[in-house]
Structure formats: C-alpha cells, structure tokens
Amino acid sequence: MGYQKLMAVAALLAMTIASTALANEKPNIIFILADDLGYGDLGCYGQKQILTPRLDQMAVEGMRFTQFYAGCTVCAPSRCVLMTGQHTGRTWVRGNAGGENSIIQSLRAEDVTVADVLKGAGYRNGLIGKWGLGEVDQPGFPLNKGFDYFYGYLSQVHAHNYYPEFLYRNADRVKLQNVVERPSGQGQDFLGGSATKKVEYSHDLFAQEALSFVRDNAERPFFLYLALTIPHANNEATRMTGNGAEVPSFGIYANREWSDQDKGQAAMITRMDADIGRLVDLLQELGIDQNTLIMFSSDNGPHNEAGHSPKRFQPSGELKGLKRSLTEGGIRVPMIARWPEKIAAGSVSNFVGSFQDVLPTLKELSGSPTKADTTGVSFVPTLLGKGQQSQHEYLYWEFYEQGSRQSVRFGDWTAIREPMFDGEVKLFNLSNDLAQSNNVASDNPEVVARAIGFMEEAHQPNKNWTPRGSAAKSK
C-alpha cells in the first residue's frame, strides 16, 4: 500500500474512532412524567405523610429545581409544550379536547418533537404510558412523531382507567384480562369506566415495559419518555363508586386511619416511587448509570378528583391552587435531574424554567442537527454548572376552560388575566407573597402594563382554541 493510501486509511480510521467516541458520549435520556403530582407531593419538596424515598434519593444524588413550571395546568397542552418546546401561546394543542373533536388535540405533521430531535442524533426512542397528542389514524400518532416504540394509552380518557380492557403496542390493541363497566349512557366505544374485574394494573405493565426497553437498548443511545398516569384519578370511577384512587393495594398505608381514597392516593405515589427506584437500580446493574440523564417532573398541579382529601396531604405545599388554576399551585411542579458525575449531587437550582426548555436542552446534549423552532432556552449550563445560563424574559400560559385565563411570570412578578385578553389583571410578587394572597395590581400600574405587553406578544391566534367572549381577538 502506498504512503498516500496508508495515510488516507489512517485518517478514515481516526475519524471513525472519533465518531464512535462522540456517539458514546451522548447520554441516554429518561424523562419520567407523573400525572397530576403536586409540587408538595414528594418528601424532598416538603411532603410529610406520603413516603417517596427513591425520588428523595434522586434529589440527593442530583439537582432539585425549585422554580420549574409545567407547560399548562391540564395534561394535553402541557404535554404538547414538553414535546414541541413551544409555550401555549404558540402550540397547536392548547387544551383538552375530549372525544368530541379529537383531531384538534393531535400534533400536526409539521410539529417537531423532542423525539424527532433525538432521532436526528441517532437515538432509539421509546414512549411508554400516556400520550394524548394523536390517535393511530392522526398525524400526532407517536410513531409519526419520532418514536420508534410505543406502549400505553393514546387517549387521555382511556388513561383514566388503571384497569383497561386493552392498551396499544405501537398501532395494535393488546387485549388485557380486565373487564370494564361504562358509566350509564356511554356505549362500548367509550374508553373510560370502572373495572369490575381487576387483573392487570396498567402502571405495573408500564414499569415492566420501561425496564425491558432499557435492557434492550443499553448498548446504544436511547431516549425513554416514561409518561406515567399516577396519581391521576379515574374520574369515571369517582363518579360511579366514589373512589377514583385506583391501586392494587394500600401497602404501607393499609392500617392508617384514613379514608380508602386517601390511602389509595398515598399508595399510588409510593408505588410509583418504588418503580422509579427499580429503574435506577437497573441502570447501575447494566453499568450505564453514569451515562444516563434522568429527569422527573409532573404535567401540572395536583387534582382533587379521586374522592380523597387534599387537606390531608397539602399537595401544593406553600403554593396556592390546584390543577386548572394558573396560580403557582396549578403550574409549578417538582423537577429533579440526576446524572452521576455530571450533575453535582445535592444541588438545588432556582432557575426559572418550564417544559418548553426541555427540547433545546436535550438538543444541545445530544448534538442533534435537527432544526426545531422553540420558545425555550437550554438549561445545560445549570445542569452541568458550566457556562452562562440564559434566562427567560418571561414565561407564559393560556388556559381555555372555566371561562379562560392567561398568565405570565417575569422576574418575581406573576400576573393572571381572567378572562383571557380583556379581563381583570391580578398581580403578585412571589418574592414576598408565594401564596399569592395579596393582589398588588392597583399599586403597580406600570408592572401591570408590562405584563399585558408580554401577554399580547406571546399569544398567536389558533382557530381551534377560542375563549368564550373573545372570538374576535382570537381569529
């Protein structure tokens, strides 16, 4: 072999080695999303009654965020923000559409997701759990949006029931052994209900699938979006039986002098915690723990829909409000990130971020070349403790139920306008009023004017989402 050919082969070999090394540097990514878990539902965020030792340990071993926000105060728009990196003033899906017009709750073909971005970087992408952003025959179906594998619920109403008659594996229905009773007046095509024969608990199936996905993909970069349904209520079961906190057993809470609904609510969260612990243990067993970033959060604030008593557990902690409110309790959520030897153990961050920041963060970490329009910022500098962290000028939310409302946070100020576009603006200073008990709008007209300016800038009209009484503004 001639000298020039030898050098060319050596150069090619060097490039291959460098490329392989770069690929090996890409972290595996697991994003775990709880459903309706409050800011105060974990021990590391102040919970006293419900035990969450494995998530508390994750916080000890990683970073706990104190000012992180969901994409919205209900599930579908919040998950859309998480997947697309756009706040609800720009997203296509801005509310829970229900079964009446499900197509408006589907992502479009042109919407770029986190999974699309990571697929562009060579990741194998799995979604296990609750999707809620597109059915099999719609453009938002998970396998159309960058995921290689899906197991779980497509419809959020279907996801109410922890003992469903079937789940989806990719586009196929997988029959389960459960038998479901529909509410009065609902036909067989209605996916919610209350099981009369409870054999297979969907959360347990998701936990097992997650372990299998990690084992099967341990030798290549993977992204697992584990969208759990715990501790969402089975709303239909609450109406039919009075108890929507479905769980196979009360576990360590069985002998507490609490209602069954309270025992169930606590047992669900502790069960989820234990299964997350199993996932962390598996990473260590497989020797990929140090190359795996795990993030844990919740899609919105806590619910009061299972028949349990929120007063017992104080799920919002010191914050005001629950799910469907745009006060802090409805949108500020727990956020824990763990990546051994990359994220400083025991660190606490006051970075003011939200779900829209996840996509640009994972794009930077993966080195993906895939383009994605986003209103978020990467918080890699915060995670790794290196470089200058970009800050949001403001965070923004829209909510289309209950007459509609919109909210903006900038600095320590948060403003809520209800109804959207033309209602009264309430203003709160979180630095001295975390509970939002003192509306100071009348004392700060210039701050209110700034808030309105941000709201006007953030909202882009969407034909599918029109607040009542504001149709002209939304066209």
What pLDDT is recorded for position 467?
78
How many whole angstroms separate alpha carbon 172 and alpha carbon 144?
Answer: 15
Coil, strand or helix at 102: helix
What pLDDT is recorded for position 97?
86
* 19 in a structural domain: no
The strand pairing partners of 197, in sequence order, are 179
Sign of the CA dihedral 112, 114, 116, 120? positive
Pair 250, 103 in one domain: yes
The DSSP code sequence of 199-254 is ---HHHHHHHHHHHHHHHTTTS-EEEEEE--TT---HHHHHHHS-----S--GGGT
Coil, strand or helix at 384: helix
What's at 263, amino acid-wise?
K
Full residue range of the structural domain in which residue 433 is found: 395-474
Q: Which of 384, 408, 424 is the last residue of a domain?
A: 384
Phi, psi (degrees; rounded to nearest 5) at 209: -60, -40
Q: Which class for 94: exposed (0-12), middle (13-18), buried (19 or more C-beta within 10 A)?
A: buried
Q: How many residues does the chain have?
A: 475
* 9 in a structural domain: no
Pair 254, 291 in one domain: yes
Mean pLDDT by 10 residues, the chain (475 residues): 46 39 73 98 98 98 98 98 98 87 94 98 98 97 98 97 98 98 92 96 98 98 98 97 97 98 98 98 98 98 96 97 98 98 98 98 98 98 97 97 95 97 97 98 98 98 78 40
CA distances to 20, 66, 409, 412, 417 from 332, rounded to whole Å, are 40, 9, 11, 14, 18
Pair 121, 211 in one domain: yes
The DSSP code sequence of 123-159 is -EEEEEEE--S--TTSTT-GGGTT-SEEEEESSTTGG
Domain with residue 61: its CATH number is 3.40.720.10
Pair 229, 249 in one domain: yes
Q: Which of 361, 384, 407 is the last residue of a domain?
A: 384
Pair 353, 468 in one domain: no
- Token reading at 356: 């829209």
Q: Are 437 and 386 in contact (CB under 8 A)?
A: no
What pLDDT is recorded for position 6?
46
Total structural domains in the chain?
Answer: 2
Pair 361, 251 in one domain: yes
* 232 in a structural domain: yes
DSSP state of 370: -
Tell me the pairing of strands 149-153 and 166-169.
antiparallel
What pLDDT is recorded for position 474?
42
Phi, psi (degrees; rounded to nearest 5) at 363: -65, -45
Closest C-alpha to 427, from 456, 465, 455, 466: 455
The DSSP code sequence of 336-400 is EEE-TTTSPTTEEE---EEGGGHHHHHHHHHT-------S----HHHHHT-SPPP--S-EEEEE-
Q: Are 214 and 224 in contact (CB under 8 A)?
A: yes
Sign of the CA dihedral 90, 95, 101, 105? positive
Pair 441, 373 in one domain: no
Pair 93, 74 in one domain: yes
What pLDDT is recorded for position 25?
80
Closest C-alpha to 161, from 235, 260, 249, 263: 235
Q: Are 64 and 44 in contact (CB under 8 A)?
A: yes
* 161 in a structural domain: yes
The strand pairing partners of 172, in sequence order, are 169
Q: Which of 354, 384, 414 is the last residue of a domain?
A: 384
* 261 in a structural domain: yes
How many whole angstroms separate alpha carbon 244 and alpha carbon 232?
Answer: 9
How many whole angstroms separate alpha carbon 117 and alpha carbon 355?
Answer: 15
DSSP state of 318: T
Closest C-alpha to 382, from 341, 340, 352, 412: 352
